[in-house]
Amino acid sequence: MSTTLVSQSLVKAKSLSCPNCGTPIELRGFAHTLSAVCPSCLSILDASNPELQILQTYQGKERIEPKIPLGSRGTFNGTVYELIGFEQRSVQTPDDYFSWDEYLLFNPYKGFRYISEYCGHWNVIRVQSRVPYPTTARGRRGWVLDARKFAAFDAMQAATSYVIGEFPWQVRLGETAACEDFIAPPYMLSSETTAGETTWSLGEYWEGSKIWQAFRLPGKPPSPQGIFANQVSPYAGKTGAAWRMWLWFNVALFTLMTIFNLTKANKEVFHDEYSYAYFKNHDTSFVTPAFQLDGVNKNVEVRFHADIRNDWIYLSMALINDETGQTFDFAREVSYYVDSDGSEGNRDNRVVIPSVPAGRYYLRIEPEMVTGALSTRYEISVRRDVPIYSYFWIAAALLLIPPIVTWFRSNQFEARRWRESDYRPVDSPVMKIAGGIIESLGDD
Amino acid sequence: MNNPLFLLYGVLLLGATGYLEYTGKSFDRINQQRVLPKSIRDNPGAYRSTYGGYSRYIGGK
């Protein structure tokens, strides 16, 4: 345990009585405490002199119970702090009201720390003696501190609406301060201006479970609602990593394609030209000379090319094993049309027959064209063991899915974060559509 | 590695691509028949292709 641990024997609280109701008040902040709140009548007392003069009496009826009890001790970066004060601050605008809680922690050797909580989102805060310097971040006003750029997120007039415990300043209910928040997740730089004096503080986002662990509190912290200003995106750094991985997979895919391209025989075993002429009631089918297919169960590509224009030719074909009679039956159409608007179709077509055993084969071809067609020349070629590049293009397209989804999700998270900002950017139509798609896929 | 699911997905995708390429699989529609009389070589018109008799609409009446 750290040497800065504060034990009961080391630090003895100063005990006084409330001049309003007589309730004993223990002060743990020593000479730092300038005001204290009576835990019974909630009167705010001036703790700078032993008489404890009443500064303000509490007129409200509601008592707020802090989520972390006063007097709790928590360990932060190896230092034990005691929770000595709690205040609730609120913002009231014509169309909005919200509040957040602030906890004051004290260690006699390390000084003060603050914890803020809003809708289950926690920040551990230190007041800064350094002054940041102005810059622009994300296209808006910002500040630089510790080489980090903080972008303006929101600005408000906050009022102190509830206090309990003790404070190193003369706290007053209703006291207002002009607050501004600037973010660089997980950090938040905040300025508080009262009577021309500006105080800077640096907050770091903490998960509620970590706060509970630091204070060894029983149970679970309240679940966070929504996305907080400086909450760390679960996709932070993942988009770049996903694109880097995509790049490596594409390198691997290209390597695989090259290997297959080099190792495949891709050998032409047959090639011939034919001419089609229509005769009524004439059988157009014929067979080719036999050709040899080597290798075990390799694929066979049959390519067609026809010299046609504004016409079609349909080829019903069969690859037949001359010895076993095993037949691979298929058909393809070649059609090509062209006019002043452009062209449609293709003079070439092909078919790939998978796993064809070795042996002697011939093709049985039955061409068909529109009745009355003029003589048409067409070519047929057969290749053994050809690479099929379409698999690689399909794989390359499928590999795009994870980085694109990660990128959309990351952008959607940031869009939801900035939706809460006073400097909310306008969502692009693409992001709106993408957000809708991702949400419909069940993203929370 | 901060994206193990993508890693697994990519490895499976590459594996599947390599398998399909190695085995020469094809998406093309092929009808395979086992027994065919040798007489087809001499009389190709006797063969009835699965895709034969393909009739198409060529427009007009």
End-to-end Cα distance, chain B: 67
Q: Chain A closest CA to B20's CA: distance in Å? A: 8
Tell me how far apart the alpha carbons of residues A100 and A120 are, in angstroms, rounded to a whole number: 10
CATH of the domain at A337: 2.60.120.680
CB within 8 Å: A299 and B50: no
Predicted local confidence at residue B57, as pLDDT: 42
Q: Are residues A196 and A248 in the same domain?
A: no
Label residue A312 by pLDDT band (50, 70, 90): confident
Position of tokens 């090259």? A258
For residue A38, the cross-strand partners are none
A337 belongs to a structural domain:
yes
Q: Are residues A243 and A339 in the same domain?
A: no
A224 belongs to a structural domain:
no
Q: Are residues A156 and A285 in the same domain?
A: no
Tell me how far apart the alpha carbons of residues A437 and A432 are, in angstroms, rounded to a whole number: 9
Q: Are residues A53 and A126 in the same domain?
A: yes
DSSP-based three-state secondary structure for A411: helix
Q: Mean pLDDT highest for which of A341-350, A426-435, B5-14?
A: B5-14
When divided into structural domains, chain A yields a total of: 3
A237 interface with B at CB cutoff 8 Å: yes
Label residue A38 by pLDDT band (50, 70, 90): confident
Q: Are residues A379 and A408 in the same domain?
A: no
Predicted local confidence at residue A440, as pLDDT: 57
Give A-chain residues touching B58 at CB under 8 angstroms. Answer: 370
CB within 8 Å: B54 and A366: no
Q: Are residues A313 and A430 in the same domain?
A: no
CB within 8 Å: B24 and A325: no
A421 belongs to a structural domain:
yes
Q: Are residues A210 and A248 in the same domain?
A: no
A267 interface with B at CB cutoff 8 Å: no
pLDDT tens per residue, range A125-165: 999 988 899 888 777 788 999 899 999 999 999 999 999 99
Helix ranges, A326-400 (H): 389-399
Q: Are residues A244 and A291 in the same domain?
A: no
Q: Are residues A70 and A188 in the same domain?
A: yes
Tell me how far apart the alpha carbons of residues A193 and A80 are, in angstroms, rounded to a whole number: 29
A317 interface with B at CB cutoff 8 Å: yes
A232 interface with B at CB cutoff 8 Å: no
A354 interface with B at CB cutoff 8 Å: yes
Its domain, for residue A45, covers 14-215
B7 interface with A at CB cutoff 8 Å: yes
CB within 8 Å: B26 and A388: yes
Q: Chain B closest CA to A62's CA: distance in Å? A: 48
Q: Are residues A199 and A317 in the same domain?
A: no
Q: Are residues A206 and A102 in the same domain?
A: yes
Mean pLDDT is lowest, of A203-207, A306-310, A382-386, for A306-310
CB within 8 Å: A316 and B2: no
Percent over 70 (pLDDT), chain A? 90
Nearest 5 degrees, angle CA A49-CA A53-CA A55?
120
A281 interface with B at CB cutoff 8 Å: no
Count of C-beta atoms within a 10 Å radius of residue A220: 9
Q: A247: which residues sit within 8 A by CB, 6+ positions away?
A: none
Q: Are residues A413 and A340 in the same domain?
A: no
In chain B, which among 27-46 make CB contacts under 8 A with chain A?
A: 27-38, 40-41, 44-45
Mean pLDDT across A252-257: 94
A6 belongs to a structural domain:
no
Predicted local confidence at residue A371, as pLDDT: 64
Label residue A3 by pLDDT band (50, 70, 90): very low
pLDDT tens per residue, range A61-112: 788 899 999 999 999 989 999 999 999 999 998 888 999 999 999 998 889 9
Label residue A309 by pLDDT band (50, 70, 90): confident
A334 interface with B at CB cutoff 8 Å: no
**Phi, psi at residue A436, to the nearest 5°?**
-65, -40
Q: A164: which residues sit within 8 A by CB, 6+ positions away?
A: A37, A39, A42, A64, A66, A70, A85, A86, A87
